[in-house]
Structure 1
Amino acid sequence: MRQDNFKMVAKTLHGFEDLLEDELKRLGAMDIRKGTRNVTFRGDKGFMYKANLCLRTAIKILKPIKYFKIKNEQDLYDQVYNMHWDKYLTHEQTFAIDATVASEQFTHSQFIALKTKDAIADKFRNTQGKRPNVDIKFPTLRIHVHIQNNDCSISLDSSGGSLHKRGYKTATNIAPINEVLAAGLVMLSGWDGQSDLLDPMCGSGTIAIEAAMIACNIPPNINRKEFGFEKWQDWDVDLFEKIEESALKKIREFHHDIYGYDKAPSAVQKAKDNVRNANLEDYIKIRRADFFETKKETEGKLHILFNPPYGERLHIDMENFYADIGDTLKQGYSATDAWFITSNLEALKFVGLRPSRKIKVFNGKLESRLVKYEMYAGSKKAKFQKKNTDD
C-alpha cells in the first residue's frame, strides 16, 4: 500500500450509502467500506481533493488523524491535549469543533465539543503563550469529534461547509430541497440522461440543476467558493488545479432537454437565477405553469421527478392535491416514468395509481418514500392484450 494514502470518511444521508459507495468506486477509491450514513475509503491528497469536487451524494469528507478509547471526559481532554496541534494550526488562526456522540456514557455533544476546544486552547497557551480563537462560521480548521460507545476519533473536516452547498444557489423558495438529496433522487430514479426530464413543481430549480450536472458529468461542486482543505498547511494549489482540469475534461454533451415548471412567479425567477449561476441555461428551461393544467409536450419517453409539498411547511388540501397528481399523470402524461418524494405516506392513497416502486429515503429527519408510477402509451391492459395477440 502506498505510504501517501490515508483513510477518509465520506458522510452521507441515511439511505444513500449504496449510491456513495458506487460513486467512490467509479472515482477510483481504495479499500471502500460502507457504514451507516458514511462510507470509509483510502486515497491520497489529490484523491481527497477529487472526492470533494466530484462526489454528488457526500455531505463531508473527513480525514481521521487520531483514534483512542476514553472512559470519561478527562480522558478525552488528556488525549486531545497530547496531540501535536501545531502540525495543523497556528495560534494566529481559528478553529471550530463539531461533535457527534452515540454512547450511553457520553450523551452531550456540545459538552464534548467544549472539552475538545479547551484541550486545544490550553495546549497552545501552555506551549506558545497564545491560543487560537474559535470561529464557528469561517474557521481556518474545522475539527470533528466522533464518539461511539468508548471509541473516539478526531478528524479534520476537509470540506469545510457541508458539500450540499454547491455554490450555485443564491435564492431558495419556502421549502427548498437539499442539493445532495436532489442528486441522490435523480440517481435512485435511474435517469441516465437518455430522455427529457421534467420537474413539474421545481421550486428553486435544484432537481433540474442536479439532473443537468449528472447528464453532462459536471463536477457537482465546481461552483463552490472554497473547501476546508484550502486553509490547511499542506494545501497544494497546483495539484488541485490539475484535479479540477482533469474533471472538467470529462464533461460530456447532453442531447435532450430538462424542464422545470412552477406556478409561483417568485419560484420561477429564483429557479432561473440558480440555473444561470450554475451555467446551465443551455440545458434547462424554466417556465411558469400549473402542472395540473399541463400535458406532455415532448415526443418519446419522458422522465418526471419532483418534490411536491408535504404539508409540513406548506399548507394544502392533501387529499385533493394528490388526487390531482394522479389525474394529471393519467390524462396528460403517457409514455412517462413519474417519480416523486413524499413524507406524507397517507396521501399516497389518493393518487389513484399503483406505484411500481417505493424506495425509503429521508428528507431531513422526515422518513419519506420515493415512489415511481409508470404511465404507458395507451392503457397497460391494452398494451398487454396487444402483446398477447402478437404472440
Structure 2
Amino acid sequence: MEINFKMIAKCLFEFEDELAKELRELGALDIKKGVRHVSFVGDIGFMYKANLSLRTAISILKPVFSFKISNEEDFYNELNAYPWENLIDKDGTFAVESTVNSEIFTHSRYVVFRTKDAIVDRFRDKFQSRPNVDTDRPDCQVSVHIDRGNCEISLNSSGDPLFKRGYKTATNIAPINEVLAAGLLLKSGWTGQCDFLDPMCGSGTILIEATMIACHIPPNINREHFAFQNWEDFDQSLFEVIKDSALKKVRSFNFEIKGYDKAPSAVEKATQNIENANLSEFITVKRQDFFESIKTSERHLHMVFNPPYGVRLDVDIPAFYAKVGDTLKRSYPGTSAWFMVADLEAIKHVGLRPSRKIKLYNAKLESRLLNYQIYEGSKKAAKQ
C-alpha cells in the first residue's frame, strides 16, 4: 500500500497562487498556501512527479520533524537527539541549508554550522566515525527552517534549486531565473493558444519556458539529477514510469514562437539554449531591434518580455520606455503585451494605460508585471 506524506513546495514571493494551481492540476491532496511556499500531500511517486513537472517551484521538501526552541542550546540538543543514522549513512555525505526568521538566531550560516555540529557529534558518539559534508551532490540534503521559536527540519528532495532546468549553458549579462520566467508566463495567462513573441529575448529563457508550457513538456525533463535519486528508498523503475507518463502528455503546437534580440551574442546564446532544450523545431530566433520591428501576422499575438532595468544593464529609462510604448502602439495591433519593470517610475514613460499591474519581486527588486492590450484601431472600435 502506498503511503502519503506531507510535502512543502517552496516558491518565489507572490507566486503561491500559480504553484497551488499547478499542484491541483497534478493531483496533489490537502493543498495549503503559505508565504513563499505551498504544502500538500502525496506519495513518493507524486514527489518525483512534482520535481519533474512543477514550473513555479524552487524545491520540494519532505518534513522530517519539528520542535520548539527558546535558545541555542535547545536547538543543538534537539538536533543531536534525533536518530540521523536512519537517514544518513555514517560513511555517506550530507549538506545543510537554512532559512531563518528569529531573534534567537540572526544568521542563517550560523544555523548551518550548528546543525552540522549536532549531526556530526551524534555520529562520532555512537559510531566513532562520521559522514562527510558535500555541498555539490550530497546523499542527504537537510533543510532547516526557523520561524521565531519554531524549527522544522526537512529533507530537500530536489537538491539544486529547480530553476536549474539543465538547458541553460549560455547566459547574458542579466539572465532571468527560469522559475520566475515560467511564473510570469502563467500570470500572463499564456497557454499556447496563439502566436508568441519575446522581443528582447536575451539567452532565450522566456521562449523556452513558453514553449514547454504550450507543449505540456515537463520543465525539469532535461535535469541530470534530483537529490531523491541518492535516497536509499529511491525507486528507479517508478521514476521511469512517472517520466514516461509525463512525456505522454506532450502535445504539438500549431502557432509561431519567435524571439528577437539586437545583440548577435544574445541570439547565439538563445539558439544554443533552445537546442539544449531540444526545442529548435518550435522556436525561431533572429537578430532584430524591437524598436524597428513590426507585427508579421494578422493573428492575435501574446508577448512577454523582460526589458533591461538600468540595474545590471545601463539604459536611459524615460527614453527607453517611451520607445517601448511607441513601438507597441505603432507596430503591434492585436497584441497582448506583458513585461516586467523594476523602476516603477518607468511605467509613466510608456505612454499607454496598463490594463493590469501585478506586484512582484525580481530577486530583491520590487517590480510590476504590466499588461497592455494593443487593439486594432481604437479601443472603443475594438469593443464595438
Give TM-score scaled by structure 2 length. 0.98
Q: Which residue of structure 2 lines up, in the alignment, with residue 8 of structure 1?
A: 7
Give the aligned partner of residue 152 of structure 1. 151
Q: Please give the residue correspondences for 1:196-345 in structure 2 after superposition, counting only pairs within 5 Å.
A: 196-345=195-344
Over aligned residues, Cα RMSD in angstroms?
1.0
Q: Work out the CA distance in 1 between the residues paired with 2:147 and 2:381.
A: 57
Query: Number of residue pairs matched?
Result: 384
Q: Distance in 2 between matches of 1:23 and 1:96?
A: 29
Q: What CA distance in whole angstroms lies between the structure 1 residues aligned with 2:192 and 2:97?
A: 38
Q: Deviations over 1:275-300 (max 9, x none)?
A: 00001111110100000000001221
Secondary structure class of the residue paired with 2:279: coil
Query: What amino acid maps onto 1:324 in structure 2?
Result: K
Asked if the contact 2:218–2:246 (Cα under 8 Å) also holds between the matched residues in 1, the reply is yes
- Structure 1 runs (4+) deviating above 2 angstroms are 381-384
Q: Displacement, 1:182?
A: 0.3
Q: Deviations over 1:157-216 (max 9, x none)?
A: 000000000000001100000000000111100112111000000000000100000000
Deviation at 1:103, TM superposition (A): 1.4
CA distance in 1, matches of 2:357, 2:273: 30
User: Residues of 2 paired with 1:74 and 1:6: CA distance?
Assistant: 30
Question: Percent identity over the alignment?
Answer: 60
Q: Which range moved further: 199-208 or 68-77? A: 68-77
| In 2: Cα distance, 1:306 partner to 1:330 partner | 16
**Structure 2 Cα separation of the partners of residues 7 and 66 of structure 1:** 11
> 1: distance between equivalents of 2:49 and 2:331?
43
Question: Would you say the 8 A contact 1:73–1:112 is kept in 2?
Answer: no
Contact 1:19–1:57 at 8 Å: present in 2 too? yes
What residue is the counterpart of 1:69 in the other structure? 68
SS in 2 for 1:316: coil
Whole-angstrom distance in 2 between the partners of 1:62 and 1:220: 18
Q: Post-superposition shift, 1:138?
A: 2.2
Q: Which amino acid aligns with 2:3?
A: D
Q: Contact 2:137 / 2:227 at 8 angstroms: preserved in 1?
A: no
Given that 2:80 and 2:119 are in contact with CA atoms closer than 8 Å, whether structure 1 keeps it comes out as: yes
1:70-219 to 2 correspondence within 5 Å? Answer: 70-219=69-218
Aligned partner of 1:309: which letter?
P
Whole-angstrom CA distance in 2 between matches of 1:244 and 1:118? 38
Amino acid at match of 2:117: D
- Local SS of the residue matching 2:328: helix
Q: Which amino acid aligns with 1:327?
A: D
Deviation at 1:3, TM superposition (A): 6.8
Provide the C-alpha distance between the structure 2 equivalents of 1:91 and 1:274, rounded to a whole number of angstroms: 40
CA distance in 2, matches of 1:90, 1:105: 31
- Structure 1 residue aligned with 2:357: 358
| Runs of at least 5 residues in structure 1 that lack an aligned partner in the other structure | none
What one-letter code is carried by the residue in structure 1 that aligns with 2:366? E
Q: Which amino acid aligns with 1:190?
A: G
Alignment correspondent of 2:58: 59
- Between the aligned partners of 2:172 and 2:87, the Cα distance in structure 1 is 39
What do the CA deviations read for 1:243-264 (whole angstroms, capped 9, x no partner)?
0010000111111111000000
1:202 partner letter: C
Contact kept? 2:298, 2:334, Cα under 8 Å: no
User: CA separation in 2, counterparts of 1:376 and 1:99?
Assistant: 48
Distance 2:3 2:71 in 1: 34
| 8 Å contact kept, 1:201–1:291 | yes
Q: Distance in 2 between matches of 1:250 and 1:169?
A: 24
What is the letter of the counterpart of residue 247 of structure 1? A
1:24, distance to aligned residue in structure 2 (A): 0.4
SS in 2 for 1:62: strand
Displacement of 1:136: 1.8
Alignment-mate amino acid for residue 192 of structure 2: G
The separation in 2 between residues aligned to 1:382 and 1:251, in whole angstroms, is: 39
Give the stretch that moved more between structures: 84-93 or 20-29: 84-93
Amino acid at match of 2:13: H
SS in 2 for 1:197: strand
Give per-residue Cα distances to partners, 1:280-321, cap 9 Å, x unaligned: 111110100000000001221001110000001001111111
Q: Distance in 1 between matches of 2:191 and 2:241?
A: 28
Whole-Å separation in 2 of the counterparts to 1:361 and 1:93: 40
Mapped partners of 1:226, 1:73: distance in 2? 35
C-alpha distance in 1, partners of 2:10/2:179? 11
> Could you tell me whether the CA contact under 8 Å between 1:198 and 1:260 is conserved in 2?
yes
Other-structure match for 1:48: 47
Return the offset for 1:91. Answer: 2.1
